[in-house]
Chains A and B, each alone.
Chain A
Amino acid sequence: MNMLNAYTVNATIGGMTPILLAALAGVLCGRVAVFNIALEGKILIGAFFAIVGSYFTGSALGGVLCGVLATMLFSTILAYGVTRFRGDSIVLCIGMNLLASGLTAYLLRQIFGQAGVFSDPAIAEVDRIVIPAINTIPWLGWIFSRQTPITYLSWLLVIVVAIVLFRTPLGLRMRGIGQNPEAATTLGIDVGRTRRWTVIAAGALCGLAGAQLSIGTVGIFAEGMSAGRGWIAVVAVMLARDNPIWAAAVCLLFAIADTFSVQLQAQGLPNQLTDAVPYVITLVALVIGALRGRRRRMAPV
């Protein structure tokens, strides 16, 4: 296991951030019973517009804000689609994912005149925070130092989301809406509005996820660079049963699995195979989760 070096661990933790943020977005939507499988497309929108903002403002913060705002705006399609227009969330989300991949590719050509990949020295990347006290300590420093502010924020957001959901009036209402929207209506809760704002807030989280992916990791935009992360987040939400803490744990598990696949690649396994490892692990996790769930259901009450 000598391959588990500082760089790999550090990169894995940073690479987990977009999935974690998207999973938190999925948790919020799941709580208000909006099945959000547009996470993939939202990450992509966030990644692209973070590059746009970063390129034109010359500041990483400008990039992050641009990514977040654009993704919130993009999320209004789902927010209004499932409430005011009573669309089917699955169809809407499929449409949004395709719109995201088409739109980012189109705008990449129209704004930057590039196809495929865009990199430019004018793109300001998010700085990493080095914590000198622990920076060189194995594991501790590898994990907790040299991460972007977005990564630290994502951990904080796990706790914030958990507190909002389980300790505030708003969270109680959200949980109520998810369980029985008609009952919530009879108590005077505006179900549509709560759902809309939840979906839009989740959009902000996905925007952060995208920003981390583009200007927080590599400083480039590539078409389709979300590469299935949004779908892994969807699975994490399912396995965690809409619980933010569990979702974080599942994401961590995926990150460990991902490190493992990087290890395999370093051992000489071709990347075509190792690239599929996260998805195979995700599938295996689903199967194990389902088997466990079934045993629980079989057990006497």
Chain B
Amino acid sequence: MQWELETIGVTKRFGPVTANEGVDLRVKKGEVHAVMGENGAGKSTLMSMLYGLLQPDDGEILIAGRQVHFTSALDAIGHGLGMVHQAFQLFEELTVWENIVMGAEPARRGFLDRRRAIASVAGLAERYDLKVDVTQRVRDLSVGIRQRVEILKALYRDAQILILDEPTAVLTPQERDGLFAVIRALRDDGRTILFVTHKLHEVMEITDSVTVLRQGRVTERMATKESTPEAIITAMTGRSVSLDVAKGPATPGEIVLQVAGLTVGQGPKPAVADVSITVRAGEIVGIAGVAGNGQSELIEAIAGLRPGSGRVTLKGRDIASLRVAERREAGLAYIPEDRAATGTAAGATAAETLLMGRQGDAALSRGGLLNLPAISERARRLIAQNDIRISSERAKVGTLSGGNLQKVVIARELDHEAPLLIAEQPTRGVDVGAIEAIHARIVAERDAGRAVLLVSAEMSEVLGLSDRILVMYEGRILAELPASEATEAQLGLLMAGRTGEAA
């Protein structure tokens, strides 16, 4: 059988870490082929090699039966590959057509041929029913439209094999349906789609066959209609896991956090518009929403990292005018969404990283002088208690894996034993095993009587952990519902801003 795309024994190592080992991938022409796996299973590395961004240490890549060696993305594009990255690779200040023709510009006598560029891009968009205004600047576009621009970029280069890397992560369910329609149209046009995802129901819905990766190796390869969700899960995780969180009913107590009329940003469409939230001791309030609907801004305003107008009270005390350090002291712990960019500093030691935010504590410093023995002592204790895999408290945290680094952040923030815990995307990019542990700790915090405000883009996480759910859409709280009554379908509609249909 002639495969459209085939890899034989592809292996890639990063120092001591093996990201892919002996991967055999076989994709038929004109099919939608799912590449599944947990975070860190090696999907991104494999796709980067297929797209020429990385070179395999071993093994072969074949396209239509012919072996290829890509040294750059340009090679891959030349062989008919196209890729839509999970994080969009767009130029915000440029127009749609400029984004699309970049690198393959129509030119006349050395100058850009704008008219021809615009016409061909618009024609392409029309052909696949991708509604886009090609002269708009990308910074003015919504996430769904941006994804169309990405797809057009690949089609403009006449991609026969299109790699979609976690394409639905940032979409509302309705935008996702639109994407699936486009995928079907492309398949019917004879193009081959590689659909990289870790979402099971999407695999079942749209793909023809599936290859499952675990720890860098292929563990399963089958036709979608012949497989079952259970089989795929087992192949992905090597064991049957339930993502349901074990927790008893909440016993909400006094009000810990009260946000009233909080607005962040100016103009007719502020990032956060007139938001009011109450979180009580002993409950987990989850904020659901597609990323970029004002959740980050809301949390940063509560933590004091971003100015906002409105009232924020913590255990009855007005903290709206307080600085970050004073808010932390008033009883706020905060697990930020990006542990590498915000939660840690790669060049700092574990002890220094674990100290941040507590450097003013009487136990750790006095009169501005650091109590170094106490700081080391505490760091050693936290490393041991939280099973952080690091050689010593004097080692730098930059070498830690994502899960271990997240443990550092969580250890530090939970050690604060603050009445309010804000957890923003606490399990993003963390292995399934670690996810369970983190969820259990958050529930334990709740059971210890703390108020937890959870923000997550993962619907299952919000549904599984929260006692109450708030849905955020375009900077507003669109709805509030008890977790026990919420369903994925209903939440999906709310996240898309459709209150009427969800009711």
Contact = CB atoms under 8 A, between A and B. Distances in A.
Contacts of A168: 107, 110-112
Nearest to A300: B267
B98 interface: yes
Given A172-B98, A172-B105, A187-B153, A179 B111 contact: no
Interface string B367-393: 000000000000000000000000000
A119 interface: no
A119 to B, nearest CB: 44
Contacts of A189: 74, 102-103
Given A168-B112, A300-B268, A179 B105 contact: no
B137 to A, nearest CB: 11
B266 A301 contact: yes
Contact of B92 (A173, A179, A184, A301): A179
B90 A183 contact: yes
Interface in A92-151: none
A285 to B, nearest CB: 24
A185 interface: yes
Interface residues of B, number: 30
A180 interface: yes
B53 A185 contact: yes
Interface string A137-169: 000000000000000000000000000000111
Contacts of A171: 112
A193 B218 CA distance: 37
Main secondary structure of the interface of A (DSSP, over half): helix
Contacts of A172: 94, 98, 101-102, 105, 112
A187 B90 contact: no
Contacts of B35: none
Contact of A301 (B83, B85, B112, B269): B269
Interface centre among B51, B102, B107, B268 (most CB of A within 10 A): B102
Interface in B265-280: 266-269
Main secondary structure of the interface of B (DSSP, over half): loop
Contact of A187 (B92, B103, B267): B103
B413 to A, nearest CB: 31
A186 B266 contact: no
B89 A180 contact: yes
B132 interface: no
B140 to A, nearest CB: 11
Nearest to B92: A179
Interface string B151-183: 001000000000000000000000000000000
A298 B267 CA distance: 9
Contacts of A300: 266-268
B112 A167 contact: yes
Contact of A179 (B94, B110, B112): B94
Contact of B111 (A167, A176, A190): A167
A175 interface: yes
Contacts of A169: 105, 107, 112
B77 interface: yes
Contacts of B53: 185-186
A88 interface: no
Contacts of A185: 53, 72-73
Given A169-B112, A301-B269, A188 B89 contact: no
Contacts of B91: 175-176, 179-180, 183
A275 interface: no
Interface centre among A186, A187, A189 (most CB of B within 10 A): A186
A211 B269 CA distance: 53
B93 interface: yes
Interface range for A? 20 to 34
A188 B98 CA distance: 15
Interface centre among A169, A176, A184, A300 (most CB of B within 10 A): A169
B104 to A, nearest CB: 8
Interface centre among A184, A187, A300, A301 (most CB of B within 10 A): A187
A184 B102 contact: yes
A71 B100 CA distance: 36
B473 to A, nearest CB: 19
B103 A188 contact: yes
B89 A173 contact: no
Nearest to B72: A188
Contacts of B103: 173, 176, 184, 187-189
Contacts of B72: 185, 188, 190
Contact of A173 (B85, B102, B153): B102
Contact of B102 (A167, A182, A187): A187
A25 B103 CA distance: 23
Nearest to B89: A183
Nearest to A163: B111
Contact of B73 (A167, A179, A180, A187): A187
Contacts of A298: 266
B111 A186 contact: no
A105 to B, nearest CB: 37
Contacts of A190: 72
Nearest to A180: B91
Interface centre among B89, B98, B101, B103 (most CB of A within 10 A): B103
B22 to A, nearest CB: 27
Interface in B100-140: 101-105, 107, 110-112
Contacts of B83: 186
B117 to A, nearest CB: 10
A179 B93 contact: yes
Contacts of A180: 89-92
Contacts of B75: 188
A247 to B, nearest CB: 18
A32 to B, nearest CB: 13
Interface centre among B91, B105, B110, B266 (most CB of A within 10 A): B91
A25 to B, nearest CB: 22
A174 B322 CA distance: 44
Nearest to A166: B112
Contacts of A167: 111-112
Contacts of B92: 179-180
Interface in A172-206: 172-173, 175-176, 179-180, 182-190
A180 B51 CA distance: 18
B94 A176 contact: yes
A182 B266 contact: no
A182 B48 CA distance: 13
A169 B102 CA distance: 8
Given A176-B94, A301-B267, 5 more contacts: A175-B91, A187-B153, A190-B72, A300-B266, A300-B268
22 contacts: A167-B111, A167-B112, A168-B107, A168-B111, A169-B105, A169-B112, A172-B98, A172-B101, A172-B112, A179-B91, A179-B92, A180-B92, A183-B91, A185-B73, A186-B51, A186-B53, A186-B85, A186-B89, A187-B153, A298-B266, A300-B267, A301-B268
Interface of A: 167-169, 171-173, 175-176, 179-180, 182-190, 298, 300-301
Q: Which 6 A-B pairs have the closest CB atoms?
A: A188-B74, A183-B89, A187-B103, A169-B105, A300-B267, A301-B267
